[in-house]
Structures are given as C-alpha cells and as structure tokens.
Chain A
Amino acid sequence: MIFLLIISILAYIQFFDSSPVHDKKKIVTFCGAASKPVMEEAALEFERDYGIEVELHFSGSGTMLSQMKISKTGDLYIPGSHDYMLRAMRDEVVDPDTIEMLAFLVPQIIVQEGNPKNIQSLEDLTKPEIKVGIGDPISVCVGEYAVELLKYNELYESVEPNIVVHAESCSRTAALVTAEQVDAIIGWDVFAKWNPKKTDVVLIKPERIPKIACIPGAISVYSTDKESAQKFLNFLHSEGGQQIFRKYGYLSTIEEARIYAPLASTPEIVKTD
C-alpha cells in the first residue's frame, strides 16, 4: 500500500515536472466561451511574440466570474458580453479603468445547413412545427439577448411555445443546431462561423435588433502581474489581435456591428478615458 503510494507520487512528479527550465512569465485569463477560438490563437501568437505564457480558462462568463471571486485569482477577465463585465465591476473583481472593447457580436437566427425548414425571419419561428432553442435567459448572455430580441419585436409570446430547450452555456446553445436537436437557435452571428459545414445564418432585419453585444476585457484586481496582463490586453486590442477576431468572424468595430444593427443600443460600458 505504502509502496504503491510512493510509486504513484513519484510517477506524478515525473509526469507533471513543474520545475521550469527558464523563468517564464505567465498570466491567467478567465474567458467566456464565446471567444474561445480567438483566444486560443491569440494566446499562442502572444506567447511567441512576447515570451509571456497565457493560461486560458473557458466556461460560461458567469462561471468564470464565480471562479475568480471564490479563488481570488486571475489576471484578466474576458466575458462573452458586457453584462458580465458590469457585474464584475460591481463586485469589484476588475479594475474599471482597464476595460477594453475587443469585439462586437450581433444576434442572428442560426439554422441547420441548407435551412431545411426554410426559416427566413423571426416570424417564421412562430410556425407550429418549428423547434427553437435559446440559451438560459438568466445565466447565458446569448439567451438573455434572445429573449430581449423577441420581446422587442413583440414575438416572445408566440415564439415561446416553440422554445423546446434552454441551453446551459453559449457553446451548448450553438451545439443545439449543429447536433440537429432544434431547427433554429437565436445565437451570435459568429456561431455560424464556428461550424460552417453544419449551420447557416439567417440575418435578422437590421432595424429589428435592439442591442449589440461586445466582448470586453479588463485586468482583474487579483492580478499579480498587471504589466503582463496589460500587454496581453493591448495585444488583443492591437491590429494583430483584431485580425484574429476578424478571422473567426467577429466584428471588430462598433461601426461594423452597426451595419447589422443600426438602431441598436451600444453596450453601456463607458470607458473612462
């Protein structure tokens, strides 16, 4: 028994040899899953250019905020929507002066490849045979936006009977349509780019979108290396970082987002500069 214990401890040490050869700087970033593909690529590029390692954690924006609050760790917080940034500001988890807008998101209807149910507008979601999925309206930002969008267009009452499921996260909302569990979801425009072979996007008429969402980033108050964190945030905001966002279909400026939603209100985070 003791022999086994010793063997397993030795194996563990061997396996997770944590003694770094060179003392490399490392920052820990908590991200909402909405920016996963971008952040993964950006972190690699940043590490290559600046020699600072970025450890990424992904989950729902709220889950990430909970983990930061409980563990009191993390250098950067990059939620999937500004609502969570407001919450992080209120809970004094981030330094409001460091908030940067990194990308913008617009809600659209995402359908299965080839649009088999021929969904063309929000009204089509009220048809009796259509199965609609949305994110959980309270904990998932894209779910909250879906409900707001439907209410704004006075369609919530009639679409609600067709909503067969609330997904527990942003990425699960996207997966509902790729796994053909529902006919349509109300998701971010980028969802279609995540899985272009299995999804199509049906654009909602620009004037019917009430709100643009954004992916903000800010330095956490728990950060132990604010300088490196700021460097990564600057990198994401720089042309190089923005290119990665664009590559994955994210809208990098508010002007671009305005094309899809000219009447929408802008995210209400006002940067103090």
Chain B
Amino acid sequence: MKAFSDRLFILFVAISTGFFVLFFLGILISMAWYTDFQTLVSTILSEEISFSIRLTLLTATIAVIFCTMVSVPTAYMLSRMDFTGKNWIDTLLDIPIVLPPISLGAALLMFFSTPVGKSIEDATIKFVFSEPGIILAQFTVISAISIRLMKSTFDNIDPKYEAVARTLRCNKFQAFFRVTLPLAKNGLIASIILSWARAVGEFGASVTLAGATRMKTETLSIAIYLSLSTADIEKTVAIVFILLLISVFVLFLIRRVSGREPFM
C-alpha cells in the first residue's frame, strides 16, 4: 500500500513538472513557427539589435550591482533587528512588487519634474529620456525582489553563528563578511540571478522613464515592443529568441561559476 501511495506521489509531481515543460516548450515552438533562421541571423547582425543587446546586458548588470549593494544591508537589517515601524518599512519596500512597472516609471518621471528631482538631475546625471534612466527604472523594479530574497535567506541563517564569531572577537563587520555572507551565498546568487533576469526583461518602467529612442534607450524588451508595433512579426520573434538565448546562457554561466546549484 505504501509503495502504491509513493508511486502515486511521484506520478503527481511528475505530471506537474511535465505540464510546465510541455506548456513552455509549446509556447516556444509555436513562436518559432513565425520566424526563420535567416531572419534570426540577420536580426542579430543588425546594428540596431546588437546595440540593444549590449545596452540591455550593461544596464541590467549595473542595476543588479547597485541593487545588491543596497538590498543586502537592508535585508539584513529587516531580518536581524527589531525597531519601531519595521512592519511599515517592510510593507513600503514591497510596493514595487505590487505596482505595475509602468506606474513606477510614471512615478519616477513625475518625481524628476519636481524641483527636488530637477535639482538632483542637475547635480548628478540626467535620468529622464536617457540611458541612466533605464538603470534607475530596472533598479526600482528589482529592488523588492532582491530585498525579499535576501531577507528570507538571512532569516534562515541561525544568528548563533554570528554570536559565536563575536565571542571569537570578530567585530560586526567581520562577523557579517566572514560568517553570515558566506552562509548566505546560495541565497545571494539566487537573488542576483532573479533580479538580473527581471532587469533584462524590464519594459514598462524603462520605456516610461527613458523613452523608446532607437540606438539610445532601446533595450531588447523595447526593441520587441517597437518591432511588434511595426507589425514585423518575424523580427519580433527573432529578438525574443535572441533575448532568450542570451539569458539562458548567462543564467547557466552564473550557476556554473557559482559552483553549486542555488536553491531557486
């Protein structure tokens, strides 16, 4: 009887997995129907798309680096410390997950129309309708994902390890960098992977804040949108496959380099 229920269980999980595999393969195969190899090659080689590829990889990578630098300490604080208003802050930081990216983009655009926003732009760099705007938009969208993942990672690490490190005369910095962070490695990698993937696919916030100027702020997702807007379905599908190939390759690479299979 036990053997039967075990087999039933395996069957159940296998059916679910099979469903997802067939579902996504089905979508991809039906897309392939709309393009051909020649279009794919000519699209990759076109100046516009090779620019888009570089822009997308560069902006997403910078956004993830900035985001991780800020989200790791934030997540640590939310996970380890108790203070008044913590629940409020926790909820506030979840807002980017709930709000549609396009409204985040609109909010950023409005912010830079205010005197404060304008003076920030004057003092630093221009974000509106320019390349840094893409990075800022991606940063805004991925911040919540990154904080959330890092927080749950820190939540799962027993604070006793740090306490032990402290008794061995580590200061807080040393305890964090030598003990907690190495223990959080898998979570950190998962957070970087997911945030990066989300940044690469970001559309709504970037197009609203940075515009859709060809050869300037045209990321791959914007290129997909523009090419669908010209009713050029072959090219649209070709760009989707390019985005897919690059992303799969990079994600695979991160997993290999990081040595272990992260928990995602």
Partners in one complex: yes
Interface residues, chain A, with chain B CB atoms under 8 Å away: 60, 62-63, 65-66, 69-70, 84, 87, 91, 136-140, 164-169, 179-181
Determine if B229 and A139 form an interchain contact, defined as CB atoms under 8 angstroms apart. yes
Chain A nearest Cβ from B16, distance in angstroms: 12
Chain B nearest Cβ from A129, distance in angstroms: 14
Determine if A138 and B226 form an interchain contact, defined as CB atoms under 8 angstroms apart. yes
Determine if B229 and A181 form an interchain contact, defined as CB atoms under 8 angstroms apart. no
Chain B nearest Cβ from A250, distance in angstroms: 22
Determine if A181 and B214 form an interchain contact, defined as CB atoms under 8 angstroms apart. no
Which one of B113, B129, B213, B230 lies within 8 Å of A62 (CB-CB)?
A: B230
Determine if B129 and A165 form an interchain contact, defined as CB atoms under 8 angstroms apart. yes
Q: In the complex, which residue of chain B has the Cβ closest to the Cβ of A135?
A: B212
- Please name all residues of chain B whose beta carbon is closer than 8 Å to the beta carbon of A63 when the two chains form the complex: 228-229, 231
Which one of A65, A87, A136, A164 lies within 8 Å of B212 (CB-CB)?
A: A136
Q: Does B233 reach chain A (CB closer than 8 Å)?
A: yes
Chain A nearest Cβ from B108, distance in angstroms: 12
Q: In the complex, which residue of chain A has the Cβ closest to the Cβ of B31?
A: A70
Determine if A69 and B231 form an interchain contact, defined as CB atoms under 8 angstroms apart. yes
Q: Which of B63-111 contact A (CB under 8 A)?
A: 109-110
B109, B222, B232 pick with most chain A CB within 10 angstroms: B232
Which one of B109, B110, B207, B233 lies within 8 Å of A168 (CB-CB)?
A: B207
Q: Give the tally of cross-chain contacts (CB within 8 A).
A: 63
Chain A nearest Cβ from B29, distance in angstroms: 15
- Please name all residues of chain A whose beta carbon is closer than 8 Å to the beta carbon of B226 when the two chains form the complex: 136, 138-139, 168
Chain A nearest Cβ from B66, distance in angstroms: 24
- Please name all residues of chain B whose beta carbon is closer than 8 Å to the beta carbon of A181 when the two chains form the complex: 109, 113, 128-129
The number of chain B residues with a CB under 8 A from chain A is: 22
Complex CA gap A167/B217 in Å reads: 11
Determine if B225 and A168 form an interchain contact, defined as CB atoms under 8 angstroms apart. yes
Complex CA gap A60/B236 in Å reads: 15
- Please name all residues of chain A whose beta carbon is closer than 8 Å to the beta carbon of B213 when the two chains form the complex: 136, 165-166
* 17 residue pairs from A and B, CB less than 8 Å apart: A62-B230, A62-B232, A63-B229, A66-B233, A69-B233, A70-B233, A136-B212, A136-B226, A138-B226, A139-B227, A139-B229, A140-B229, A164-B129, A165-B213, A167-B211, A168-B211, A169-B229
Complex CA gap A140/B214 in Å reads: 12
B34, B109, B110, B229 pick with most chain A CB within 10 angstroms: B229
Determine if B231 and A66 form an interchain contact, defined as CB atoms under 8 angstroms apart. yes
Query: Are A87 and B129 also in contact (CB < 8 A) when A179-B109, A179-B113 are?
Result: no
Complex CA gap A84/B232 in Å reads: 12
Complex CA gap A167/B229 in Å reads: 12
A63, A136, A169, A180 pick with most chain B CB within 10 angstroms: A136
